[in-house]
Amino acid sequence: MPEARDDWADISASSGSYTERRADPDHPLDFFRARSDRGNYILLLKVDDMPEVDNLPALSGLDFRHVRHEDRADELVLELRDAEQFSIFRALVSDVMNATADMPVGQNSSGALRVVHRIHRWQRLLKHRREKILSRQAIIGLFGELHFMRHRIWPRIGAAAAISCWRGPYGDEQDFAIHGWIIETKAQLSTADQVLRISSEAQLDTDSGPIVLCHQSFASSPSASGDDISLNGMVDRLRSDLASEAPSSLDLFEAGLVNAEYDHRPEYDQECWKPVTLSIFEIEDGFPRLVPSSMASGIRRVSYQIVPAACADFRREPGWLDREVLGA
């Protein structure tokens, strides 16, 4: 796996208190990178008024703790204890900082709660991905997101921006958010009945912003050849490309993979995928869909299917996507 930049390497180990450096001068919260007296890598958040938090999550190879001080701000500390967990530590740090980047400046107490919640989520995700193999549909879905990002978004806006706009793994209703637009991707086998599977009544609700729906179909083959590539192969290719083009985005990409419950497994090399079709639809008034405002009171958690042929009036060309959405 390509290695991301080591942001702790030029911080000297401490003798007593931490040797620290602000993690990101533009971040609204007081995050610092630090080294312990043993040289361990640390991310800490300084909190003047630390809220009470019970049962801090525990992660293998990492130590997560609350340190109280009488003469200065308390600290929420995430420390790498096992060097073999460095890639997980880096990805977790990137995810925590990304998840708190929209908070008001200086709201460290609220930020601390969000950090704890985020690390609890990682505790569950890491346990789950060790025990679970993604279903075939989940494999196709994740492959479809990565393929669309690499071949449609990345060439138009650049590698770092493409990784930053990828929202699918984090539980958002749609897969990408870019330039005020929301992009939802759907992927399925080219040999299956072609339908758009909509997971909720909110997924195509344009109250949250203008939406583009991109339907991709893929052919399956047992081995890589030509344009065919496995899920593991796609992930490895993206890692390699990021290492060359935007190494500072590698950790955020790894965080996305963890949130998608992906871990490299030989099972994900058993099928390779080749793109067959791409259909692009702009969601406008008249598009066949269910949204909360059109449903009777009391109905919720709706999933449904749309026949692509019924959406012909809303079909757009790839050039339109490039101009109007991606700004290319």
Domain boundary among 101, 131, 161: 131
pLDDT digits (tens, 9 = 90+) for 247-258: 999 999 999 999
| Mean pLDDT, residues 95-107 | 95
pLDDT band at 130 (very low <50, low <70, confident <90, very high): confident
pLDDT band at 2 (very low <50, low <70, confident <90, very high): low
Whether the predicted pLDDT of 169 surpasses 90:
yes
Instruction: For residues 196 and 166, give the distance between their C-alpha atoms in angstroms, rounded to a whole number.
Output: 20
pLDDT band at 16 (very low <50, low <70, confident <90, very high): low
Residue 96 lies in a domain: yes
Dihedral-angle region of residue 97 (phi above 0 means left; psi in -120 to 50 means alpha; beta otherwise): alpha
Residue 6 lies in a domain: no
Instruction: For residues 144 and 215, give the distance between their C-alpha atoms in angstroms, rounded to a whole number.
Output: 9
Could you tell me what percentage of the chain is helix, strand and coil, using 3-state DSSP and rounding each to the nearest 5?
A: 40, 25, 40
pLDDT band at 1 (very low <50, low <70, confident <90, very high): low
Residues 196 and 109 in one domain: no
Residue 11 lies in a domain: no
Residues 140 and 268 in one domain: yes
Residues 162 and 115 in one domain: no
Whether the predicted pLDDT of 161 surpasses 70:
yes
Query: What's the token pair of residue 196?
Result: 């758009």
> For all residues of the chain together, what is the average pLDDT?
92
Range of the domain at 190: 136-325
Domain boundary among 97, 131, 165: 131
Whether the predicted pLDDT of 209 surpasses 90:
yes
Residue 14 lies in a domain: no
pLDDT digits (tens, 9 = 90+) for 302-326: 999 999 999 999 999 999 999 999 9
Residues 267 and 124 in one domain: no
Residues 305 and 201 in one domain: yes
Candidates 240, 235, 245, 259; CA nearest to 95 is: 259
| Mean pLDDT, residues 285-300 | 92
Residues 118 and 197 in one domain: no
For residue 254, what pLDDT is reported?
96
Whether the predicted pLDDT of 190 surpasses 90:
yes
Q: Position of tokens 């990805």?
A: 91
Residue 9 lies in a domain: no
Whether the predicted pLDDT of 189 surpasses 90:
yes
Instruction: For residues 104 and 106, give the distance between their C-alpha atoms in angstroms, rounded to a whole number.
Output: 6
Q: At residue 109, what are phi and psi to the nearest 5 degrees?
A: -65, -50
Residues 193 and 60 in one domain: no
Residues 30 and 95 in one domain: yes
Residues 158 and 296 in one domain: yes
Question: pTM score, two decimals?
Answer: 0.86
Residue 7 lies in a domain: no
Number of domains forming the structure of the chain: 2
CA 260: distance to chain centroid?
7
12-26, 128-142, 148-162: range with lowest mean pLDDT = 12-26
For residue 38, what pLDDT is reported?
86
Whether the predicted pLDDT of 3 surpasses 70:
no
Amino acid at site 254: E
Residue 235 lies in a domain: yes
Residues 121 and 154 in one domain: no
Residues 162 and 295 in one domain: yes
Residues 297 and 154 in one domain: yes
Domain boundary among 91, 111, 131: 131
Residue 12 lies in a domain: no
Instruction: For residues 217 and 192, give the distance between their C-alpha atoms in angstroms, rounded to a whole number.
Output: 9
